[in-house]
Amino acid sequence: MAESSLKKSGGRLRVKIEPRLDEPSGKESLLISLGAVAVALILGGVVIAVVGGNPFASYLHIARAAFGSVGVLSDTIVKATPIILTALACTIAFRMKLWNIGAEGQFIMGAWGASAIVLAPALAPESPRWMFIPLMALAGMGMGALWGLIPGYLKAKFNVNEIISSLMLNYIAVSWVNYWIFGVWSEGGFQMSPKFPVNASLPRLSDYAATIPFLRGLTTHAGLLFGIAAAILLWFIVYRSRWGYEIRLIGDNPHAAKYAGVNIVKNTILVMALSGALAGLGGMSEVSGVVRRLQTAPINAGYGFTGIIVAWLAKLNPLAIIVVSILFGALILAGREIQPSGIPKMIQGIILVCLIASDFLLRYRVRLVKGEEE
Amino acid sequence: MDPIVILQAGVASGTVLLFATLGEVLAERSGVLNLGVEGMMLIGAMTAFSVTIATGNPWIGVLAAMVVAGLLSQIHAFIAITLHADQVVSGLALTLVGAGISLVLGEGLSKAGTVALMPSFSIPLLSLIPILGPIFFTNHSVLVYIGYLMTPLAWYYINHTRPGLHLRAVGEYPSAADALGINVYRLRYAYVFVGGMLAGLGGATISLAVAPGWFSELTTGGQGWIAVGLVIFAQWDPIRAAIGSYAFGALRRLILDIQGPLTLLGFDNPFYYNAYLGFFLQMIPYAFTVIVLVIGSRESMRKRLGAPAALGVPYIRGERGK
């Protein structure tokens, strides 16, 4: 079979590789993923050591700076919140083997849509919070959905490669937001909009410190609830609904889906729009809960790309995404203080490489066998 | 806003895309989709710049860029060819790894100042031809001229040589190629390596010729992805790849130049009087890539032409099917 390419020659023991006939158990698959992450951290450590850093100090620093106290744990969750939503966006698209690489742009457009409600302005600044927040969330999801719909429509109608089209839309989204914050909504010539009114901001834990002193200084905001609610909803859609079954069927076997009468064109467009809406909600939650104004740098921080890795590491399981997002939130939060500054990004990339390589162990069984050629 | 100047600069900056696109054409012709072009270009640009600082010789810098980017591509080759994994996710991971490693190793390079660049010169006689001379043969980097030579060579190699026939066979019908004694795995590894070297050369062309320096991820600014899109537009043909690359190069220059003059076609130039409209100009290359993709995809649907039949499909020896 397929052993020839990996054969170790020389010794009497041979590596024998054969396709698995059974599905690996959940425990086995978890162990393999953890092993892959461990290998990735070792490889990342080697690179850090090569450029003159101390990998142990770096990793220890990440752990302490991300989980060391309630305050930093709260900051870690703040970083995890947008990742949960972008990872969910990737999950639903990847389930159908639609490679939406544009969560970054959909996130940015969502942030812009939510900001437009405040800055256009669609609502007076003294409007109540119960009007601001739902309207901003809808606008964010709407703009994100539009940004996902474009590659979805082009894929469905003209068979345009969605990887490249969704990626190109990322760059267009950045220029679009830049136009508004430099030109239209600029505050006194700075590259940012004016600060949002209080009622256009998602509540933070620290807002309740007057009644519960323990919450003082904690920045975790209500966007986390959006993420958790979306994860639960998506879990039901994927595993418990007819639509989710259709999506998985198209992803696993498009021919079978076609013969079963599943409408692939419609589902391509719908799934890309839903994917964009989730990422857009992430953008809304970030401007309203963290930045509280429209500004390019903090919303163009690569959450869309991290979402891809998180979705893959969580094996496209919406509930697992919450846990994995918190780990990546830690990496991003703590990584900001590590020099050289590219380290978190590099480690993310290496983790993804090791994960994909480790999938091999899920599909094939590797055994050491004694003896001669078959 | 001199059209000759725009086209001349377009040929220079289009050379970046040309190398990356040609490399991807070769890799995809062998059946391996490598979406890591952006990452390989970044690591190429960073390596070329930093090795040139260290050695003072840009030729060594270019060579190092090609080798390093080629080695990086072998990560994707191993995952896609030997481990039969999904090529889309693997290529994406390669872009992240390439970008991450070049950010880490390139730390501080942006303040390194000026380095020796690849030499520029005019071609005697050819540069005297009206219009074509100034555009194609005057004051270009040696890399631009290498691009002129490489395009027809790649076309001839793919379509009219025996190794080129093997390349196409491996990408269209690997099991038949295997039956004829062609080593499918080895050839695919080799062409992914060549693709990586050319992407690295594209990156080196940025940092040592077209826009000298290292500006972290902004150095490439998505040109690797545009190259992947151009391959589809080019329908895996080197000549069309060259036309597309130079056209994109000229477009990038036009966008810069259009903001200069006070009047455009007799009207007040809106891009001069409202600088913020420049952000819409910045969108054009990316929007244009999407349009080019639509054209390419529709055309290949109509003509039933297009991608190599085994593109993106792992070849598993001994398994039934393609």
* Tens digit of each residue's pLDDT (9 = 90 or more) over B250-264: 998 888 888 877 777
Domain membership flag for residue B106: yes
What is the identity of the amino acid at A263?
N
Measure CB to CB from residue A343 to each of B99, B104, B316 and give the nearest one: B104
d(CA B194, CA B66) in angstroms, rounded, equals: 9
Measure CB to CB from residue A356 to each of B86, B277, B283 and give the nearest one: B86
Number of C-alpha atoms within 13 angstroms, CB side, residue A269? 10
Confidence (pLDDT) at A246: 94
How far is the alpha carbon of A207 from chain B, nearest alpha carbon, in Å?
A: 37
SS (H, E, C) chain A: CCCHHHCCCCCCEEEEEEECCCCCCHHHHHHHHHHHHHHHHHHHHHHHHHCCCCHHHHHHHHHHHHHCCHHHHHHHHHHHHHHHHHHHHHHHHHHCCCCCCCHHHHHHHHHHHHHHHHHCCCCCCCCCHHHHHHHHHHHHHHHHHHHHHHHHHHHHHHCCCHHHHHHHHHHHHHHHHHHHHHHHCCECCECECCCCCHHHCCCEHHHHCCCCHHHCCCCCECHHHHHHHHHHHHHHHHHHCHHHHHHHHHHHCHHHHHHCCCCHHHHHHHHHHHHHHHHHHHHHHHHHHHHCCCEHHHHCCCHHHHHHHHHHHCCCCHHHHHHHHHHHHHHHHHHCCCCCCCHHHHHHHHHHHHHHHHHHHHHEEEEEEECCCC
Contact B6, B252 (CB under 8 A): no
d(CA B160, CA B163) in angstroms, rounded, equals: 9
Shortest CA distance to A272 belongs to which of A87, A103, A83, A81? A103
Domain membership flag for residue B296: yes
Domain membership flag for residue B313: no
Domain membership flag for residue B235: yes
Angle between helices B37-55 and B3-29 (to 10 degrees): 110
Of A242-246, B82-86, B148-152, B223-227, where does mean pLDDT reach its minimum?
B82-86
Q: Which residues contact B91 (CB under 8 A, 6 or more apart)?
A: B33, B34, B35, B36, B76, B80
Q: If you average pLDDT over each of A4-13, B2-11, B56-65, which comes out highest? A: B56-65
Contact A40, A347 (CB under 8 A): yes
Residue B299: closest C-alpha in chain A: A158
Confidence (pLDDT) at A335: 77
d(CA B285, CA A202) in angstroms, rounded, equals: 37
Q: Do A349 and B99 touch (CB under 8 A)?
A: yes
Largest Cα separation within chain B, whole Å, is 69
Measure CB to CB from residue A163 to each of B81, B85, B88 and give the nearest one: B88
Q: Which domain holds residue A77?
A: 52-339
A272 forms bridges with which residues in the sheet? none
Contact B230, B241 (CB under 8 A): yes
Tokens at residue A36, please?
A: 């892959």
Query: Before A340, cis peptide (omega within 30)?
Result: yes
Q: Do A158 and B297 touch (CB under 8 A)?
A: yes
Question: What is the rounded radius of gyration, in angstroms, for the C-alpha atoms of chain A?
Answer: 23
d(CA B55, CA A326) in angstroms, rounded, equals: 44
d(CA B35, CA B93) in angstroms, rounded, equals: 9
Contact A312, A93 (CB under 8 A): no
Instruction: Tell me how far CA of residue A114 lies from CA of A133, A181, A289, B94, B121, in angstroms.
Output: 9, 14, 11, 33, 53
**What's the gap between Cα A278 and its chain centre?**
10
For residue A171, the tally of other CB atoms under 10 A from its CB is 21
How far is the alpha carbon of A290 from chain B, nearest alpha carbon, in Å?
A: 25
Regions in chain A scoring below 70 on pLDDT: 1-12, 339, 371-374
Contact B100, A347 (CB under 8 A): yes
Write out chain A residues lying below 8 Å of B280, CB-based.
175, 179
Residue A351: closest C-alpha in chain B: B93
d(CA A365, CA A107) in angstroms, rounded, equals: 40
Domain count along chain A: 1
Domain membership flag for residue B318: no
B223 has pLDDT over 60? yes
Domain count along chain B: 1
Confidence (pLDDT) at B322: 42
Confidence (pLDDT) at B241: 95
Could you tell me the CATH number of the domain that includes residue B55?
A: 1.10.3470
Domain membership flag for residue B309: no
Could you tell me the CATH number of the domain that includes residue A74?
A: 1.10.3470
Element (H, E) at B93: helix B87-105
Q: If you average pLDDT over each of A27-36, B72-81, B117-126, which comes out highest? A: B72-81
Confidence (pLDDT) at B45: 96
d(CA B224, CA B202) in angstroms, rounded, equals: 9
Measure CB to CB from residue B282 to each of A165, A175, A342 and give the nearest one: A175
Domain membership flag for residue A15: no
First to last CA, chain A: 11
Write out chain A residues lying below 8 Å of B289, CB-based.
164, 168
Shortest CA distance to A275 belongs to which of A334, A314, A246, A318? A318
Q: Do B98 and A169 touch (CB under 8 A)?
A: no
Domain membership flag for residue B127: no
Shortest CA distance to A207 belongs to which of A222, A229, A196, A223? A222
Shortest CA distance to A363 belongs to which of A33, A31, A36, A20? A20
A15 forms bridges with which residues in the sheet? A368
Query: How many degrees, rounded to 5, is the angle at CA A132 between CA A130 and CA A138?
Result: 105
What percentage of chain B's residues is helix, strand, coil (to nearest 5)? 70, 0, 25
Most A CBs within 10 A among B71, B95, B96, hence the mutation to make, goes to B96
Domain membership flag for residue A306: yes
For residue A100, the tally of other CB atoms under 10 A from its CB is 32
Tokens at residue B207, please?
A: 């940092």
Confidence of residue B320 (pLDDT cuts 50, 70, 90): low
How far is the alpha carbon of B241 from chain A, nearest alpha carbon, in Å?
A: 17
Shortest CA distance to A133 belongs to which of A207, A220, A222, A230? A222
Domain membership flag for residue B243: yes
Residue B95: closest C-alpha in chain A: A349
Measure CB to CB from residue B83 to each of A175, A179, A357 and give the nearest one: A357
User: At which residue do the structure tokens 């050591």 appear?
Assistant: A49
- Helix/strand/coil for B170: helix
Domain membership flag for residue A369: no
d(CA B268, CA B262) in angstroms, rounded, equals: 6
Q: Which domain holds residue B180?
A: 3-120+132-262+269-303
Measure CB to CB from residue B279 to each of A175, A340, A345 and give the nearest one: A175
Q: Do A350 and B100 touch (CB under 8 A)?
A: yes
Q: For the CA atoms of A257, A30, A37, A62, what is the dihedral angle to 10 degrees?
A: 120
Shortest CA distance to A47 belongs to which of A352, A345, A306, A360? A345
Interface of A with B in 280-309 (CB under 8 A): 305, 308-309
Write out chain A residues lying below 8 Å of B39, CB-based.
349
Tokens at residue B43, please?
A: 């690591």
Instruction: Tell me how far CA of residue A95 lies from CA of A12, A246, B133, B269, in angstroms.
Output: 43, 10, 53, 48
d(CA A154, CA A352) in angstroms, rounded, equals: 28
Confidence (pLDDT) at A213: 86
Residues B124-171: tens digit of each pLDDT: 989 899 889 999 999 999 999 999 999 999 999 999 999 999 999 999
Contact B105, B46 (CB under 8 A): yes
Tokens at residue B69, please?
A: 């980017």
Domain membership flag for residue A44: no
Domain membership flag for residue A100: yes
Most A CBs within 10 A among B214, B283, B320, hence the mutation to make, goes to B283
Contact B64, B47 (CB under 8 A): yes
Residue A53: closest C-alpha in chain B: B104
Question: Does any CB of chain B come closer than 8 Å to the CB of residue A349?
Answer: yes
Measure CB to CB from residue B287 to each of A172, A183, A350 and give the nearest one: A172
Contact A63, A362 (CB under 8 A): no
